[in-house]
Amino acid sequence: MTGTGGIDLHTHSTASDGTLNPQDVVTAAAAAELAVVALTDHDTTAGWTAAATARPAGLTLIRGAEISCRWYGAEPSVPLHMLGYLFDPTDERLAAELDRVRAARTVRGERIVDMLRADGVDVSWTEVLGYAAGGSVGRPHIAQALIRAGLVASTDEAFAAHWLGERYRLPKVDIDVFTAVRLVRDAGGVAVFAHPRATRRGQVVPDSLIVELAAAGLAGLEADHTDHTPAERAHVRRLAAELDLVVTGSSDFHGAHKTVALGAHTTDVAAYDRLVGAAWGVPPL
């Protein structure tokens, strides 16, 4: 860690569904006086090289990904996100799983556009691909097309139930959560459960699952997140203390797709040091 500012361990760029390219994410992180920023695009490491090349002096870069996972111990199964940090991107098994998820995400996006067009909505797959700009395709890119068409005013409105939140939502392919934790660990990284108690996002998993994940190698829990209420943050902190897991905080920055600023929530130095010390895949830059 080279700077003296905050530590933000969850950000997105145009490599997935953020609006700033990876170079601009690290530049903005330095301008926000962060000491450490993690680039954690959805199911991809495509932004790593550009972010590393553009990293300003005094800023430490943690390379990672937010991995689309699912717990199959409930009916219906529960989607969740796992933040993988400092893993080796050339690990064949993890890379293959991320490739599979990204390919399925593209198929899903095109099917959603087909559903919209069948109902007379003025969007096209070519337009959505243009918004993705070569990155991993997600619903926020379809939201941009809906905004352009004048049908919604914001990404949040596009994710309402009568749009992408329910009516035009399709299930996505995910990685079994235990498999994801194991793959990240086997690739030399550390896994942190992203926003694990965010009830505003939908169904959350029971604490008993987190106990099992901790036994399987989970390193930490993201507690300080915009989608957690104060009570939910406190719950996560208590559980992390019981299980000796690292507690993190982060912005989940997406640029213009969300109003949360870089460094809105941060991780303390001791927690950061524990995560870095447990990883051996790729070092911080």
Give pLDDT tens digits for 186-219. Answer: 999 999 999 999 998 889 999 999 999 999 999 9
Which CATH class name applies to 107-165? Answer: mainly alpha
The residue among 23, 70, 18, 24 whose CA lies nearest residue 44 is 18
User: What local confidence, expressed as pLDDT, does residue 1 receive?
Assistant: 52
Round the CA-based radius of gyration of the chain to a whole number and report it: 18
Higher-confidence residue: 173 or 187? 187
pTM of the model: 0.91
Q: Are the C-beta atoms of 267 and 250 separated by less than 8 Å? A: yes
Instruction: Let me know if domain 6-99+172-278 sits in CATH 3.20.20.140.
Output: yes
Distance CA 123, CA 100 (A): 26
Mean pLDDT to the nearest integer, 76-104: 96
DSSP string, the chain: ---SSEEEEEE--TTTT-SS-HHHHHHHHHHTTEEEEEEEEET--TTHHHHHHHPPTT-EEEEEEEEEEEE-SSSS-EEEEEEEES--TT-HHHHHHHHHHHHHHHHHHHHHHHHHHHTT----HHHHHHHHTTS---HHHHHHHHHHTTS-SSHHHHTSIIIIITTT------EEHHHHHHHHHHTT-EEEESSTT-GGGS----HHHHHHHHHHT--EEEEE-TTS-HHHHHHHHHHHHHHTPEEEE---B-GGGS-PPTTSS---HHHHHHHHHH--SS---
User: What local confidence, expressed as pLDDT, does residue 147 receive?
Assistant: 94
Q: Are the C-beta atoms of 170 and 110 separated by less than 8 Å? A: no
| Cα torsion through 213, 216, 222, 223, rounded to 10 | 50
Angle, CA of 185, 38 and 95, to the nearest 5°: 40
pLDDT band at 111 (very low <50, low <70, confident <90, very high): very high
**pLDDT over 80 at 251, yes or no:** yes
Q: Do domains 6-99+172-278 and 107-165 have the same CATH topology?
A: no
Mean pLDDT to the nearest integer, 228-234: 97
Domain ranges across the chain: 6-99+172-278, 107-165
Give pLDDT tens digits for 26-80. Answer: 999 999 999 999 999 999 999 999 999 999 999 999 999 999 999 999 999 999 9
Strands 34-42 and 60-71: parallel
Structure-token pair, residue 35: 């000491």
Give pLDDT tens digits for 128-167. Answer: 999 988 887 889 899 999 999 999 999 889 999 999 999 9
All residues at 6 or more sequence positions from 230 whose CB lies less than 8 Å from its CB, including other chains: none
User: What local confidence, expressed as pLDDT, does residue 4 receive?
Assistant: 61
